[in-house]
Chain A
């Protein structure tokens, strides 16, 4: 049994496939689209239109970069506010043309810096959460690596959430949690355990519906399996109208959390 912290390290591993690898395997006839039409194009969020089998779909992914040059260009997968605004623009476009949306999440968190605050990082994420909830088209999110806090949630307001076997999802990085609570980032392995961040935890809490087994040695086959699952989901959603999809999405999040009454 591998620990939560080992899972986290696996999820962060540099040789792990990034969003772009999945998108290239899953979608054919792709057109990548750029820019938020307000300020800039954020390389940390990639998106566009492609064919998922026979279905035209919008894909959006947080990209960490596959080599150092790419990683620097996309801020190591930490999106700027304009990244979230670009994602929202593509989602609104998908809704208009009745395309389903497939999101790939892999980030340690939204970009942390002066310029991100100046341009409203909080507002950009908040807007995504609210607007995604209202989308009248199916949204499926797959956490392929690290699901880091609000920055990951900004693309995760979906009808269905998949976790890869070693993917994690957390409210705060275990390092951050350990240094705030115990003033020692080295206690991150303990924090990872306490925070319950694994794929199994997500299914238990109702945050995720399904876990996808990893087989990076046979990446093509693994992606074929993913594609089949996604197509099957979308066929199910095609029987529902937009309003129902939006309401079901809200109900899905509405019941999350634990309290007594």
Chain B
């Protein structure tokens, strides 16, 4: 078996060298970490990076998610000019950022803009787990705050996809303050009657859970996503107790009343379109 796995891994190197994905790559098979079955990359990609056999949701980057869920070519990116600085001159921060950009091709942990889902317009933010685990520093906080203010002015609903390890410690207290800033921005949008839908994806933890992730009018989650405030390992170490397998999973949160619904990625477009349409008062009484 190890020979076979090794064979599939080869493609990674070709990708790194070539830069362009060769057509044949899509016919290569990958193993689902949940059900252990093999499936071609093409079949998985077609199914929005969900295993066609067991429904396991692969983690996906922000751009891939936008492509998979929003109308073709509808995405217009906003706030591209806001760039990260190293305010504390924190050791190794610049390296970590460089590595993050190299891994996922993004410059920061969130992408903001406007897009449509089956012609329903919305302002969107999508967090990028590949960039320093989607952690929230000044730029992530600022972009999200601006998006809510922009959406309030344009009278647009906000659809946000969270994926984050929490506040970014390399920016110290400034990162922590982004929690208050973003929560205030959600309130700014909400007070003006704006709809905010959060979609929690794997993983949503720490300072992001304790701020804008949990403040949606409607909170959806992808199946089996890890969602929590304190990390599982930290709790196990502190309490010296083994936690159940489903601890901090989306299903656990649903059971305890903290999410409205668990929606598989393959059904998200339909669900979001329906909710957005039901909140779009323009034209319904004419």
Mark A residues whose CB is within 8 Å of B: 110, 112-114, 116-123, 125-127, 129-131, 133-134, 149-150, 153-154, 156-157, 169-172, 176-177, 180-181, 194-197, 201-202, 205, 207, 249-250, 253-254, 256-261
Contacts and interface: CB of A to CB of B under 8 A. Distances in A.
Nearest to A128: B183
A181 B184 contact: no
B177 A207 contact: yes
Nearest to A110: B229
Looking at A116, A119, A195, A256, the one whose CB has the most chain B CB atoms below 10 A away is A256
B176 A122 contact: no
Contacts of B209: 122-123, 126
Interface string B79-105: 001111101101110000000000000
The secondary structure that dominates the B interface is: helix
A249 to B, nearest CB: 8
Interface in B168-193: 168-169, 171-181, 183-188, 191
Top 4 nearest A-B pairs (CB, nearest first) are: A257-B138, A122-B209, A129-B183, A122-B229
Contact of A195 (B83, B139, B172): B172
B15 interface: no
A117 B183 contact: no
Contacts of A207: 173-174, 177
B243 A114 contact: yes
A256 B174 contact: yes
A254 B181 contact: yes
B213 A261 contact: no
B82 A259 contact: yes
Contact of B174 (A181, A258, A260): A258
22 contacts: A110-B229, A112-B234, A112-B235, A113-B235, A127-B214, A127-B215, A129-B180, A133-B180, A133-B184, A134-B191, A153-B176, A156-B180, A172-B167, A172-B169, A181-B169, A194-B172, A195-B172, A195-B173, A201-B172, A258-B87, A259-B138, A259-B142
Contacts of A169: 173, 176
Contact of A171 (B173, B234, B257): B173
B239 interface: yes
B278 to A, nearest CB: 24
Contact of B187 (A134, A156, A259): A134
Contact of B177 (A114, A116, A117, A257): A257
Contacts of B81: 261
A82 to B, nearest CB: 14
B47 interface: no
B241 interface: yes
B171 to A, nearest CB: 8
B206 interface: yes
Interface centre among A113, A153, A181, A261, by most B CB within 10 Å?
A: A153
B181 A130 contact: no
A171 B141 CA distance: 14
Given A156-B180, A201-B172, 6 more contacts: A112-B239, A114-B241, A123-B210, A129-B211, A181-B169, A254-B184
B114 interface: no
Interface in B67-84: 81-84
B207 interface: yes
B26 interface: no
Given A112-B230, A117-B228, A194 B90 contact: yes
A118 B243 CA distance: 12
Interface in B208-262: 209-215, 227-230, 234-235, 238-239, 241, 243, 247-248, 252, 256-258
A238 to B, nearest CB: 23
A123 B187 contact: no
B238 A112 contact: yes
A177 B88 CA distance: 14
